[in-house]
Amino acid sequence: MKYKLSPSTLNLLEECPRCFWLYQVKKIKRPSGPISSIPIKMDSIIKNYFNKYRQKGELPPIIQGRVKGQLAVDMPKTLKFEEENGIILWGRPDEYIELKDKNIVAFDHKTKSKAPETVHPSYQLQMNVYSYLLKAMGFKTTNKAYLAFYHPDDCELHYGMCIHCTILEVKTNPTHVIKLLNKAYNVLNEPIPKPGYHCEYCKWREETLNVTL
């Protein structure tokens, strides 16, 4: 059986192999709550803004002078590669930057309440996957990516919302992706793993089994 994995499912594997197995093999997802529509709308606005400057062949002013390169053109919307063991890995970067040395790297948008000081592990894994896929698909690339964080600041709201952009350059590690893909293959071809020791979902399920109604 072929399995399709993405940065989010590999992140799930790192969090809890059992939840990963249940999702991939039995199609049982973790429970989830309502999703805010504000980040979705922000993402649409940001992408339209970038597309406008891509047509002009320019970097958007919000990132000019902070990224050395230009917006790449004619890049696939989705990166996808099938491993020899049948696992299909895919990812969808928000943007691509063509550096001055012609290397192509991923550029992703994130919305936050404030400027981050470090890169969250899940974002790091996401960028690792994009670097791995670019190389696997034959693009000229290097172990680097960019994260752009858009966050609000105090302002007079009647003049409009004040949004700042903080850009972090990320050093990627495609080798870590190879290790995770091997781990994923092993987990998927074995019986269901034990409950995750630190997994709140597994913990909740185990506790409910001991409840007397």
CATH number of domain containing 96 = 3.90.320.10
**78 or 33, which is more confident:** 78
For 188-204, the pLDDT digits (tens) are: 999 999 998 899 999 99
Nearest-angstrom CA–CA distance, 146 and 127: 8
**Contact in structure between 149 and 111 (CB atoms under 8 Å):** yes
pLDDT at 140 over 90: yes
Most confident of the following: 33-47, 52-66, 173-187: 173-187
Closest of 14, 29, 19 to residue 193, by C-alpha: 19
Phi, psi of 163 (to 5 degrees): -115, 130
Cβ neighbour number for residue 105 with a 10 Å cutoff: 27
What single letter denotes the amino acid at residue 86?
G
pLDDT band for position 21 (50/70/90)? very high
DSSP 137: T
CA 84/CA 32 separation, integer angstroms: 33
- pLDDT for 158: 80
Mean pLDDT, residues 80-89 = 95
Query: Residue with structure tokens 């990320």?
Result: 170
Average pLDDT over residues 71-96: 96
Collapsing DSSP states into helix, strand and coil, what is residue 10?
A: helix
Say how many domains are in the chain. 1
Our CA angle for 61, 67, 70, nearest 5°, is 75
Q: Where are the alpha helices (DSSP H) in the chain?
A: 7-15, 17-25, 38-56, 121-136, 174-188, 200-209
Percent of all residues in the chain with a pLDDT value above 70, rounded to a whole number: 100
Instruction: Specify the pLDDT at position 27.
Output: 95
Q: Is the pLDDT of residue 1 over 80?
A: no
Q: Which domain holds residue 46?
A: 4-209
pLDDT classification of 117: cutoffs 50, 70, 90: confident
Structure confidence by residue, pLDDT tens digits, 53-67: 998 889 999 999 999
More confident residue, 58 or 5: 5
Task: Report the pLDDT averaged over residues 45-50.
Answer: 93
